[in-house]
Amino acid sequence: MSLPTLSGLRAAVSAVDAKTPAHRDRAIDGLRALALLAVPTGHWLLGGFTLDSQGALHNASPLASFGFFAPISWVLQMLGIFFLVGGYASALSYRRAVARGESTGGWLRGRLARLGRPVLGVTAVWAALIPVLYAMGVPGTTLRTGSTLVIQPLWFVGVYTVITALTPWCIRAAERMRGWAAVPLLGSVAAVDFLRYGPFADAMPSWLSLLNLLPGWLFAYQLGVCWSEKRLGRRGAWLLLAGGTALFAALLLVFHYPASMVGVPGEARTNSHPPSLLVLALAAAQSGAAILLRDRIGKLLRRPALWAPVVVINLSAMTILCWHQTALLAAAVPGSFLGTVPGLTSGPDTLGWIAARVAWLPVFAALLVLIARYARGFEAPWKRATHARRALAGLLAAGFAVFALGLA
3-state secondary structure the chain: CHHHHHHHHHHHHHHHHHHCCCCCCHHHHHHHHHHHHHHHHHHHHHCEEEECCCCCEEEECHHHCCHHHHHHHHHHCCHHHHHHHHHHHHHHHHHHHHHCCCCHHHHHHHHHHHHHHHHHHHHHHHHHHHHHHHHCCCCHHHHHHHHHHHHHHHHHHHHHHHHHHCHHHHHHHHHHHHHHHHHHHHHHHHHHHHHHHCCCHHHCCHHHHHHHHHHHHHHHHHHHHHHHCCCCCHHHHHHHHHHHHHHHHHHHHCCCCCCCCCCCCCCCCCCECCECHHHHHHHHHHHHHHHHHHHHHHHHCCCHHHHHHHHHHHHCHHHHHHHHHHHHHHHHHHHHCCCCCCCCCCCCCCHHHHHHHHHHHHHHHHHHHHHHHHHHHHCCCCCCCCHHHHHHHHHHHHHHHHHHCCCC
Q: Which residues pair with 59 in a beta bridge?
A: 49
Tell me what pLDDT residue 206 has: 87
Higher pLDDT, 314 or 10: 314
Say which range, 38-42, 110-114, 176-180, 217-221, has the weakest mean pLDDT: 110-114
| Mean pLDDT, rounded, for 393-399 | 83
Reading phi first (left if > 0) and then psi (alpha if -120 to 50, else beta), residue 114 is in alpha
Percent of the chain clearing pLDDT 90 (strictly above) = 71
Query: What is the rounded average pLDDT for all residues in the chain?
Result: 91
Say which range, 71-75, 79-83, 222-226, has the weakest mean pLDDT: 71-75
Is 50 exceeded by the pLDDT of residue 1?
A: no
Tell me what pLDDT residue 396 has: 83
CB-based contact 48:357 (threshold 8 Å): yes
Give residue 223's Cα distance to chain centre.
Answer: 18
Reading phi first (left if > 0) and then psi (alpha if -120 to 50, else beta), residue 204 is in beta
Tell me what pLDDT residue 336 has: 95
Tell me what pLDDT residue 404 has: 80
Confidence of residue 174 (pLDDT cuts 50, 70, 90): very high
Is 90 exceeded by the pLDDT of residue 262?
A: no
Strands 57-60 and 48-51, bridge-based pairing: antiparallel
Torsion of CA 140, 145, 147, 150, to 10 degrees: -160
Is 90 exceeded by the pLDDT of residue 113?
A: no
Confidence of residue 385 (pLDDT cuts 50, 70, 90): low
**Per-residue model confidence as pLDDT tens digits over 134-143:** 999 999 999 9
Confidence of residue 159 (pLDDT cuts 50, 70, 90): very high
Which of these, 267, 276, 261, lies nearest to 209 by C-alpha position? 276
Say which range, 59-63, 195-199, 343-347, 404-408, has the weakest mean pLDDT: 404-408
Tell me what pLDDT residue 402 has: 84
| Mean pLDDT, rounded, for 4-14 | 77
44/41 Cα distance (integer angstroms): 5
Tell me what pLDDT residue 399 has: 84
1/289 Cα distance (integer angstroms): 44
Tell me what pLDDT residue 403 has: 83
| Mean pLDDT, rounded, for 393-408 | 79
Is 60 exceeded by the pLDDT of residue 185?
A: yes
Residues 6+ apart with CB under 8 A from 307: 13, 16, 17, 20, 26, 301
Tell me what pLDDT residue 408 has: 57
| Mean pLDDT, rounded, for 22-32 | 93
Say which range, 21-25, 164-168, 372-376, has the weakest mean pLDDT: 21-25
Which of these, 242, 258, 328, lies nearest to 69 by C-alpha position? 258
**Per-residue model confidence as pLDDT tens digits over 81-101:** 999 999 999 999 999 999 999
Is 90 exceeded by the pLDDT of residue 163?
A: yes
Confidence of residue 2 (pLDDT cuts 50, 70, 90): very low
CB-based contact 112:163 (threshold 8 Å): no
Is 50 exceeded by the pLDDT of residue 219?
A: yes
272/167 Cα distance (integer angstroms): 23
Which of these, 16, 40, 44, lies nearest to 29 by C-alpha position? 16
Rg of the chain (C-alpha set): 22
Q: Indicate the pTM of the whole model.
A: 0.93
